[in-house]
Structure 1
Amino acid sequence: MSALTTLAVENYRSLRDLVLPLRRLTVVTGPNGSGKSSLYRALRTLADAARNGAVAALAREGGLPSTLWAGPETTSRAARVGLRLGFSGPEYGYAIDLGLPVPEPRTLFVRDPEIKREALWSGPVLKPSALIADRHNTTVRLRDESGAWGPHPHGIRITDSMFSEFADPRRTPELIVVREQIRSWRFYDHFRTDQHAPARAPQVGTWTPVLGHDGADVAAALQTIAENDGGDDLAEAVDHAFPGSRLSVEERDGRFDLRLRQHGLLRSLAAAELSDGTLRYLLWVAALLTPRPPELLVLNEPETSLHPALLAPLAELIAKAASRAQVVVVTHSAPLVRALESVADERGDDLGTIALAKESGATTVEGQGRLDQPPWHWPKR
């Protein structure tokens, strides 16, 4: 599928009404408290919807009421109706509207959200004629092969997504295409590098084209890159960050241990001996040089714990990843933003920078007026 061009969020914490343009490489920045983390979590919740996990994801945040817009009382009552998330690209668009349940005296699950509306359409902008699958509460309509709506609506449980119930290769192949696109999205957020971090201990080594979320399989992931024609890129990434250094992986009784020989040292250092910043950089190398790039790669504050000298090599890695996957970087580091913009300018990459700010408790985009937003229409309840 083509890269996404628009991301829309309404009523998620400080994201009162946000419609963002997305590029091949999008950098989201802004001061602390501007809504960057909320945007990252909203994207993760959207991804969970494709796995039928939106209800569980919101439950981990304290239930839907805990995530809804909590701005000034004069504007917040209407906003507490529900949470809406969506995206679009040249081929397809998708939106989901999660609302509070109707009070029911016989149940204790009063914080579980209900899917009030869900829609999949062709093209970048929602139009009635472009709808492919359309869901109102517990009723789903699907277009047949001729483009006409099926003769009978289908039933669905109020907490289930169309992706889990109606993705069928013969009846609705579009739902499968979009579902698999979303399921391929990959998120990395704050790798652990403390002394007890999983990445510091030798692990059983297996072919690992995708680094795990906790980085425990970093040695196997780096070895997979090296053996999958990525050895030159790997060596370049290490040398750029630590001139004259060489990375290797040792195998003992099936366990892989990461080793880094740095210029001037008499012996190589194991992962357990590396500094937090060095280990974290190597974790980003493993994540960004993956031989199995996703449709969308989202990085949350990748600069954390890195020495300023490592930001330029990290920017090079991110730019290289963006040549094979769409990338969104959420960061409050102005030096990293400048490094990414510099690399993109040198390479001629398609980069967009979005600066978030807060106005009356709501997240806004600096310099974006209503007419500057990408075209977007929410499906009505």
Structure 2
Amino acid sequence: MLTTLAVENYRSLRRVVMPLRRLNVVTGANGTGKSSLYRALRLLADASRNGAIAALAREGGLPSTLWAGPEQVRKDRPVQGTVRTGPVALRMGFASDDYGYAMDFGLPRPTDSAFHLDPEIKRESLWAGPFLRPASLLMERVNGRVRIRGDDGKWQDGGHVLQTFDSMLSEFADPQRAPELLALRERIRAWRFYDHLRTDADAPARRAQIGTRTPILDPDGADLAAALQTIREISPKGVLEEAIELAFPGSHVEIVNAAGRFELAFRQHGLLRPLSSAELSDGTLRYLLWVAALLTPRPPELLVLNEPETSLHPDLLPALANLVVTASKGAQVIVVTHSRPFVASLEALADDLHTLELLKAQGATALAHQHPLEEPPWKWPTR
């Protein structure tokens, strides 16, 4: 379970060091940095597949994603430009009880390459335990060189030089000397993100699909019918029916198998025939997608949900909150939302809900009610 998330100089996140627990809800007004926090987590996940540079490029490159304010912010002075004293750095990392990891993006060196706008990975560090200390470092990358701490405590050369756009998470594999890096990579790759599940007229979830056992709902929801049937067959008996009944009393879901193609049939009280997924309202279909995503028989270590309440009627929020709380029993959950009623529904069901409210202070995102001395211990690796 992640205990700390740290981001520096990413959009409005000039410096955020956030404590995390089992069930976390990130809330705040529009423009306070909730989406930036969600994207930062996705960037960390992309690094495990060597996709962080491409993800930054899709956002406009490093110049567009860097903190746009001054290097130093003084509450007793108006915001003004100053001469930069440190290197340009976009940094993000996390810590858990057993491992911590951080990566540092910087500006590229002058070059004639056509890819001269690509940022470079300047530093990566992997350490044991929740706090970075010189003695806890297991592996680090400085520019392109990688070194590994051996069993005798001495540093060993990694053996090859990484390209400036390659993460050691994705490109360095040495199960003999660096098993911790491989373990961490697989854990990050198992993180699961759901962001604005499609319910438009052309959404994949509205079409019949070939059905196979589906313990994990695809991000586009195309395998919704197969995912619901998988929950019905291999999850504890009645969990699917309970989730439907809680939201739509007297209703139930059937999965029609037509020569191997699965289609959803939704029966409601008072109707003489079931409704197909193509006939369902956006809100009803979206709720069924969340049922498939959150009741997964194969929960991840980390499940991140971005505004799951979108398109749902307020009457469905308690049922959605129940799904989230149920999911948190098998996975660490981070929910990003601006809906106060949804937060209230979560608070009513979860005794251990960890609410993190974001606000803007002089253009920078900050955690409400967090004094600087109350931040979790965090230290960035130096270049």
Given candidates 105, 113, 117, the residue that maps to 1:111 is: 117
**Among candidates 86, 91, 101, match of residue 84 of structure 1:** 91
Question: Cα offset for 1:80?
Answer: 7.5
Of 125-134 and 142-151, more deviation after overlay is shown by: 142-151
Task: Provide the TM-score with structure 2 as the length reference.
Answer: 0.95
Gaps of 5+ in 2: 71-79
Tell me the distance in 2 between the aligned counterparts of 1:232 and 1:207.
18
Q: Distance in 1 between matches of 2:159 and 2:381?
A: 18
Cα distance 1:78–1:322, how it changes in 2: closer, same or farther (>3 A)? farther
Give the equivalent residue in structure 2 for 1:67: 65
The list of structure 1 runs, each at least 4 consecutive aligned residues, that deviate by more than 6 angstroms after superposition, is none
Residue 86 of structure 1, CA deviation? 0.1
State which of 92, 105, 108 in structure 2 corresponds to 1:101.
Answer: 108
Q: Which residue of 1 aligns with 2:375?
A: 373
Letter in 1 for 2:278: A
Which amino acid in 2 is paired with 1:28? V
Q: Is the 8 A contact 1:209 1:292 kept in 2?
A: yes
Superposed displacement of residue 163, structure 1? 1.6
Is 2:344 the partner of 1:302?
A: no
8 Å contact from structure 1 (residues 68, 79) kept in 2: no
Describe the superposition over 1:234-260 as per-residue Cα deviations: whole angstroms up to 9, x where unpaired: 110000000111111001122110111
The residue type paired with residue 48 of structure 1 is D
1:284, 1:242 → 2: CA distance? 14
Q: Does the alignment pair 1:244 with 2:242?
A: no
DSSP 3-state at the match of 2:213: coil
Q: How does 1:1-381 map to 2 (within 5 A)?
A: 3-72=1-70, 74=81, 77=84, 81-104=88-111, 106-150=112-156, 154-345=160-351, 350-381=352-383
The 1:308/1:14 distance shift into structure 2, 3 A limit, reads same
- Cα deviation for residue 166 of structure 1 reads 2.4
Q: Structure 1's 242 and 145: CA in aligned 2 closer, same or farther, altered over 3 A?
A: same
Query: Per-residue CA shift, 1:283-340, capped at 9, x if unaligned?
Result: 0000001111111000000000001011001001000100000000000000111111
Q: Which has the larger share of helix? A: 1
What's the CA shift for 1:195? 1.2
Q: Do the aligned partners of residues 257 and 8 (structure 1) sit closer, same or farther apart at CA in structure 2, a change above 3 Å counting?
A: same
Take 1:117 and 1:161, find their aligned partners in 2: how far apart are those partners? 9
Q: Secondary structure at the match of 1:150?
A: strand
Alpha-carbon contact 1:70-1:76 (below 8 Å) kept: no
Matched residue pairs, number?
374
Q: How far did 1:341 drift?
A: 1.1
What SS does the aligned partner of 2:154 have? coil
Secondary structure at the aligned position of 1:5 is classed as: strand
Deviations 1:261-303 (A, max 9, x none): 1112111111011111000000000000111111100000000
- Matched to 1:89, the amino acid is S
List runs of 5+ in structure 1 lacking aligned partners.
none
**1:7 partner amino acid:** L
**Separation in structure 2 between the aligned mates of residue 355 and residue 108 of structure 1, nearest angstrom:** 42
Alignment partners' CA distance in 1, 2:246 and 2:28: 28
Q: Calculate percent identity across the aligned residue pairs.
A: 64
- Say what the alpha-carbon RMSD is for the aligned residues: 1.5
Distance of 1:252 and 1:24 partners within structure 2: 41
Given the superposition, is the C-alpha separation of residues 232 and 77 from structure 1 closer, same or farther in structure 2, using an over 3 Å criterion? farther
The 3-state SS of whatever aligns with 1:364 is: strand
Displacement after TM superposition at 1:167 (Å): 2.8
TM-score norm. by structure 1 comes to 0.95
